């Protein structure tokens, strides 16, 4: 069944080899004053920084570099907003992974706000305006290039917030899979795990439909096959292009139009883990996924598992539903392990003595226990999932 929905994504996608040749034309539509944002140097190593600078000779460019993975409100968002105000910035050009783009999205609204930017990010105050964003995404993972969300950490209060506003849809996203050839094995695996989890967060919902299920299972199949190819051969264009396009679509909602909303519980848990221990987002999700699945498996939810078992993994239909579900959970565990993710949070530096505090934090900031959710999680359930993930 496809239930009522509204769908709107105003972002233009420009995809393929060499597409950034159109960057000057695209940026000129917004103005001359550009804030160029990037991370810790990967774009310099791969030659993309020089390429962008040579394409943008006629523009006034101000730079914000050093944006961290799990981007921080202080200093990155605060500094970027200040640079925009001081330099009358017309457009932000984000070049990098999801962290660079998320930080740029937060800057785009904070720069047009006279109060404390964290009031916007934490949802206390609604933004009224933003600076347009153009991006060149260099890591297939978050889908930030095609959604209206950003995730920002505030280390002073151990918080990591997902913040949504239509004002933050990028105006134009350039997607050239060749710029992902240099992504490390670790980030390739974690980025794919992130996108797989985006699909699963939407798949575990009711109502659901044959059409959406088909799209999501096809996405999972391609992600799982192509990440293996990309890990073996980082410059395989076919694999990198499939990963990039699916990651772009996976967080946008287009795969679950008309379906129920799960509440994205695994993301709520992972955001607390990154807030407390600054771990890599996709790795945290991969570790939580099979433990969350085990926790929510019941007669009520088992159909989602059997659908994955038959359509994604091709398991024997004569197995009992619960046997099939168990095999599905193990298959995800084994898959994530096979692409190099250590399947225990302890290996990422997470400490068991913070579990209770994190569970309180999740319930207070990013609730997982609402009745409308597919499988609500109370505090004991969150603690069980986190303990099992250690």
- Residue ranges that bind Zn ion, judged by CB under 5 A: 194
Q: Which among 12-20, 93-101, 113-121, 372-380 is the span making contact with ligand NZQ, rule CB under 6 A?
A: 93-101
CB 328 within 8 A of CB 294: no
Cβ-based nearer residue to ligand NZQ, 265 or 309: 265
Q: Which of 27, 52, 59, 102 binds ligand NZQ (CB under 6 A)?
A: 102
39 binds ligand NZQ (CB under 6 A): yes
Q: Which of 130, 187, 188, 208 binds ligand NZQ (CB under 6 A)?
A: 187
- CA atoms of 199 and 212, how far apart (whole Å): 10
177 binds ligand NZQ (CB under 6 A): no
341 binds ligand NZQ (CB under 6 A): no
- The three-class DSSP label of residue 218 is helix
Residues in the chain: 390
Residues in a beta bridge with 133: 92
Closest alpha carbon to 389 in 361, 357, 348: 348
Applying the rule CB under 6 A, the residues between 257 and 316 that interact with ligand NZQ are 267, 281
133 binds ligand NZQ (CB under 6 A): no
- The three-class DSSP label of residue 63 is strand
Q: How far is the CB of 88 from ligand NZQ (least distance, A)?
A: 27
Dihedral angle of Cα 181, 289, 376, 202, to the nearest 10 degrees: 40
Q: Which of 72, 89, 96, 308 binds ligand NZQ (CB under 6 A)?
A: 96
Query: Which partner from the list Zn ion, ligand NZQ, none does 179 bind, CB cut-off 5 to 8 Å by kind?
Result: ligand NZQ
- CA atoms of 102 and 165, how far apart (whole Å): 12
CB 265 within 8 A of CB 292: yes
Q: Which of 80, 98, 170, 253 binds ligand NZQ (CB under 6 A)?
A: 98
Cβ-based nearer residue to Zn ion, 99 or 104: 99
CB 170 within 8 A of CB 145: yes
Query: Which partner from the list ligand NZQ, Zn ion, none does 220 bind, CB cut-off 5 to 8 Å by kind?
Result: none
Q: Which of 149, 177, 253, 290 binds ligand NZQ (CB under 6 A)?
A: 149
Cβ-based nearer residue to Zn ion, 134 or 283: 283
Q: Which of 40, 234, 258, 376 binds ligand NZQ (CB under 6 A)?
A: 40
Q: Which among 35-43, 86-94, 292-300, 382-390 is the span making contact with ligand NZQ, rule CB under 6 A?
A: 35-43
Cβ-based nearer residue to ligand NZQ, 224 or 297: 224
Query: Which partner from the list Zn ion, ligand NZQ, none does 239 bind, CB cut-off 5 to 8 Å by kind?
Result: none
Q: How far is the CB of 9 from ligand NZQ (least distance, A)?
A: 12
At residue 152, what are phi and psi to the nearest 5 degrees?
-125, 135
DSSP, res 64:
E
Residue located via tokens 């993972």: 141
- CA atoms of 258 and 260, how far apart (whole Å): 7
Task: Quickly count: other Cβ atoms within 10 Å of residue 1's Cβ.
Answer: 10
Q: Which residue is nearest to Zn ion (CB)?
A: 194
Give the full edge-to-edge strand order of the sheet including 33-37: 12-15, 172-175, 133-137, 91-96, 33-37, 60-64
Task: Quickly count: other Cβ atoms within 10 Å of residue 79's Cβ.
Answer: 15
Cβ-based nearer residue to ligand NZQ, 99 or 389: 99
Residues in a beta bridge with 159: 154
Q: Which of 52, 69, 93, 120 binds ligand NZQ (CB under 6 A)?
A: 69
Cβ-based nearer residue to ligand NZQ, 69 or 309: 69
- CA atoms of 207 and 3, how far apart (whole Å): 8
Query: Which partner from the list Zn ion, ligand NZQ, none does 256 bind, CB cut-off 5 to 8 Å by kind?
Result: none
- The three-class DSSP label of residue 12 is strand
Residues forming contacts to ligand NZQ in the complex (CB under 6 A) are 39-43, 46, 69-70, 96-100, 102, 138-139, 141-144, 147, 149-151, 179-180, 182-183, 187, 191, 194, 251, 267, 281
């Amino acid at each position: 069944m496809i239930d009522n929905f509204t769908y709107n994504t105003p972002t233009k996608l420009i995809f393929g080899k060499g597409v950034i040749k159109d960057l000057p034309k695209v940026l000129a539509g917004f103005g001359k004053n550009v804030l160029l944002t990037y991370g810790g140097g990967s774009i310099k190593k791969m030659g993309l920084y020089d390429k962008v600078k040579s394409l943008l000779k006629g523009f006034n460019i101000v730079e914000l570099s050093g944006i961290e993975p799990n981007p921080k409100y202080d200093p990155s968002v605060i500094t970027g907003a200040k640079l925009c105000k001081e330099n009358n910035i017309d457009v932000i050009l984000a070049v990098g992974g999801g962290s660079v783009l998320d930080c740029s999205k937060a800057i785009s609204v904070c720069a047009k706000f006279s109060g404390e930017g964290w009031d916007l990010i934490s949802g206390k105050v609604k933004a009224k305006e933003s600076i347009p964003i153009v991006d060149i995404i260099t890591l297939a993972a978050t889908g930030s290039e095609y959604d209206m969300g950003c995730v920002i950490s505030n280390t002073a209060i151990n918080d990591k917030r997902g913040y949504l506003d239509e004002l933050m849809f990028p105006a134009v996203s350039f997607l050239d899979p060749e710029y992902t050839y240099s992504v490390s094995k670790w980030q390739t695996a974690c980025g794919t795990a992130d996108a797989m989890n985006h699909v699963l967060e939407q798949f575990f919902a009711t109502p659901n439909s044959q059409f959406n299920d088909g799209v999501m299972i096809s996405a999972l199949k391609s992600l799982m096959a192509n990440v293996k190819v990309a890990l073996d051969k980082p410059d395989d264009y076919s694999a990198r292009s499939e990963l990039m396009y699916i990651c772009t679509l996976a967080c946008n909602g287009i795969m679950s139009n008309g379906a129920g909303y799960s509440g994205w519980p695994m993301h709520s848990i992972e955001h607390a883990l990154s807030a407390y221990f600054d771990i890599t987002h996709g790795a945290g999700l991969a570790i939580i996924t099979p433990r969350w699945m085990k926790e929510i498996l019941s007669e009520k939810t088992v159909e989602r598992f059997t659908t994955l078992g038959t359509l994604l993994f091709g398991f024997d239909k004569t197995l009992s539903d619960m046997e099939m579900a168990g095999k599905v959970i193990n298959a995800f565990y084994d898959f994530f392990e096979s692409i190099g993710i250590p399947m225990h949070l302890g290996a990422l530096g997470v400490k068991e003595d913070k579990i209770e505090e994190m569970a309180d934090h999740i319930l207070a900031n990013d609730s997982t226990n609402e009745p409308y959710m597919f499988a609500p999680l109370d505090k004991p359930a969150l603690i069980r999932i986190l303990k099992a993930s250690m």
